[in-house]
Chain A
Amino acid sequence: MKLRRWFLLPAWLWMALLFLAPFAIVLAYSLLTRGTYGGVGGPWTLENYQRLLDPLYLTILLRSFAMAAAATAICLALAFPAALFIARSNRHRNLYLQLVMLPFWTSFLVRTYAWMFLLRDTGLINTALQWTGIIHGPLPLLYNNGAVLLGLVYGYLPFMVLPIYATLERMDPALAEAAADLGARPMVTVLRIIAPLAMPGILAGSVLVFIPCLGAYLTPDLLGGGRSAMVGNLVQNQFTTARDWPFGSAVSIALMALVTALLWALLRKQKEPIA
C-alpha cells in the first residue's frame, strides 16, 4: 500500500469509532421498542418513525427550522458587512479577526449564562434603561423566542463571518475597481459583483450556522426557559424524563437524514466545492 494511504488511517479510525459506531447504535435503537423504564428492548419495529408524522412533532420540527432559518438570515445580514470590512482593512485586519474569535476563549455555557444575567428583569440592560428613564417597568427580555434567537445568532455569528471573510480576502480588488470604473455605484458593486463572488463563503457559513442551530438545545432551554421546545429539546426529553430512547433515536436519525438531504441538494447545485 502506498504510504499516503496510511496517512488517512487515523482519520478513518476516528470516523469509525466516533461516528459510525455510535450512529449504528442510534440507528438500531430507533428500530427497537421502548423498555418499560428506559433502555430498549425487542421486538424490532418501525413504529418510532410512524410517530414522527404526528402533527405534534411536525410542529416542533417546523418551529426549529423556522428558528434556525431566522438565525441564519440574521447572521448573514450581520456577518457580510463585517467580513467585507475586515477584508478591506489593511492595518488592523488580524486584530479584527482575533476579535471575531475572542468569544471562543470562554465556554459557550458560561456565555449563555452571561446573557441570562444581562436580559433579566433586574439585569444590566433593564436596570440601565430604567435608570435613564427610557422605560418605567422592566422589559420582558428573557424567556421568549426573541431571547432564543439572540442566543443563537450570538453563538454562531463567527461561523458566518470567517468563511465569508475567507472568500472576500482572496477576491481580486481590481474587480470592484473595474465595476466602479464602468459606472456601478458602491451598493450595486456589492450586490452584483462582490456578493455573487462570495457565494461559496456565504453558503458555507449558512450551513455552518443553520445545522447547529437546528439541533440547538442549550440555548432554547436556558434563554427560552423551557417554554417552547425545539427539536433538540425533544430529543433530550425523550432520553431523560420520558425515558423513550427508541423515539429519541428516531427523532435524531430523522433530523440527520433531513440535514444530509439538504446538504446534498446544496452541493449538487453548487458545482464548486464549498470554501
Chain B
Amino acid sequence: MNRRIFLMGLSALAGCSRDTRPRLNVYNWSSYIAPETVPRFEAEFGVQVRYATYESNEEMLAKALTGNSGWDVVFPTHNRLAPMRENGLLARLNHQWLTGLDNLDPRFRAPAWDPELAWGVPYMWNATGIVYHRSVQPPPGRWADLWNPALKGRLTMLDDPEDVLGACLKKLGRSFSATDANELRAAEREAIAQKPLVRAYLNAEVRDQLVSGDVLAAQLWSTTAQQAIDAEPRLAFAYPAEGFPLYCDCAVILRESRRARLAHEFLNYLLRPDVSARIVQATKTATANRAAWSLLPEAVRTNPVLYPPADVYARGEWPQTLPPGTQRLRDRIWTEIKSA
C-alpha cells in the first residue's frame, strides 16, 4: 500500500470516529430523568450529551470543587447552592436565555435560598418522612414513634447525619438547622438512645427490605417510599407531626462550562411541561413545575405521598446551609453516634 493512501485512510477513519456535534455534559442524580429525555434533546438540538449519575451531593461536589470537572449542568440540593456560589463554582443564570420559568409552581418562583432564581432552576423536590408497614399498631405519625421499643430490630434510619439528627431535633421541638451546641448534644443523646432499636442506617437500599417485610418502619425520602408502596400496597407513608425536612434539587450551570448557551437550552428543555411530566411519570418524583403537574393523571396529582396537601406541606421546613463551625460539630456527633 502506498503511504499516501494509507494516510488518507487513517484520516478518514479518524473522521468517522469523531462526533463533531457540540457536546453538553450533564451530571445528575441516579433515576432522575426519563429514558427518552436525553435522546430527544440530542435529536432536536443536533448535539450530543454526555450523561452520568451520582448518588449524593458530596460525590458531585467532590468533582465540581476541582473547578475542572468537565461537567456543564449539575443538580445540587437547594442548601448546597450557597456554598457552591461562595466557592465560585456557579455561573449566574442569564434570564434572557431562559424561557419557561413561568411554568414553575409559585412556591418555587422565589424560594428563600435563591429569591431571584439567579443561580439554579428548581427541578424536583421531596421530603423525609416515615414509611411503615400497616401491621404496625398504632401507625407511626410522629418522629417520637420511632423510639417505640416494639420496633426493635425492624426499624431503619437514613445513613445521613442531616436527616438522623434532624429527626432527633424535631422530636425535641427544635429546628433542622439548629446550630446551638446544647441542642445538638441533646439530639445526639436521642440518637444514641434510639440506636439499640435501629436495625441499620440505610438509604435507598432499604426499599427491598420494606417490600419483603424485613423492615417494618423506616425513615425515608418520600419518592423512594412511593416506589416501595407501589411494590407493596401494605406499606404507608406518614409526614411526621413534629415537622419534616423538604429538599429541592436545582439545575445549575457550572462556571467552568464553556457551553453556557447550550446549557441554558437544556434547562429550558427540562422546564417544558411535557418533558417534565414524562420524567415524573418515569421516575415517581415530585416536580417543581406547575404546568407539568397539570398534565399528570389525577391519581398522581393527588398522591398524598408525592404531593402532600397544603396543611401537611405547611409543617415542612427547608433545611438551611449550615455554618462551618456547626458542620464540624455535627460531623463529630455523627461519628460518635456511629461508634456508640
Contacts and interface: CB of A to CB of B under 8 A. Distances in A.
A222 to B, nearest CB: 8
B332 interface: yes
A106 interface: no
Nearest to B62: A38
Interface in B184-229: 195, 198-202, 209, 212-214
Contact of A38 (B65, B214, B332, B335): B65
Interface residues of A, number: 32
Interface in B58-99: 58-59, 61-62, 65, 83-84, 86-87
A131 to B, nearest CB: 16
Interface string B158-200: 0111000000000000000000000000000000000100111
Chain A interface secondary structure, helix, strand, loop or mixed?
A: loop
A226 B62 contact: no
Given A227-B201, A241-B334, A122 B213 contact: yes
A228 B200 CA distance: 10
B50 interface: no
B297 interface: no
Contact of A226 (B84, B87, B200, B328): B200
Nearest to A51: B332
B61 A243 contact: yes
A37 B61 contact: yes
B257 to A, nearest CB: 19
Nearest to B201: A226
A35 B89 CA distance: 14
B200 A38 contact: no
B136 to A, nearest CB: 15
A227 B212 contact: no
B324 interface: yes
Interface stretch (A12-20, A23-31, A85-93, A232-240): A232-240
B62 A122 contact: no
B338 A228 contact: yes
B25 to A, nearest CB: 20
Given A240-B59, A241-B58, A242-B331, A225 B199 contact: yes
A237 B160 CA distance: 10
Interface string A103-128: 00000000000000000111000000
B302 to A, nearest CB: 33
Given A38-B65, A56-B335, A225 B202 contact: yes
A240 B200 CA distance: 19
B102 interface: no
A120 B209 CA distance: 8
A137 to B, nearest CB: 10
A121 B83 CA distance: 42
Contacts of B62: 38, 239-240
Nearest to A60: B339
A227 B213 CA distance: 20
A203 to B, nearest CB: 31
B304 to A, nearest CB: 28
Given A37-B86, A39-B65, A240-B62, A227 B214 contact: no
20 contacts: A36-B324, A37-B65, A37-B83, A39-B65, A57-B335, A63-B339, A121-B214, A122-B214, A140-B153, A226-B202, A226-B338, A227-B198, A228-B338, A229-B335, A237-B331, A240-B59, A242-B335, A243-B327, A244-B328, A244-B331
Interface of A: 35-39, 56-57, 59-60, 63, 120-122, 140, 142-143, 224-229, 233-234, 237-244
Given A37-B324, A228-B338, A241-B334, 12 more contacts: A35-B87, A36-B87, A37-B65, A226-B338, A227-B198, A229-B339, A234-B335, A237-B338, A238-B331, A241-B58, A241-B160, A243-B327
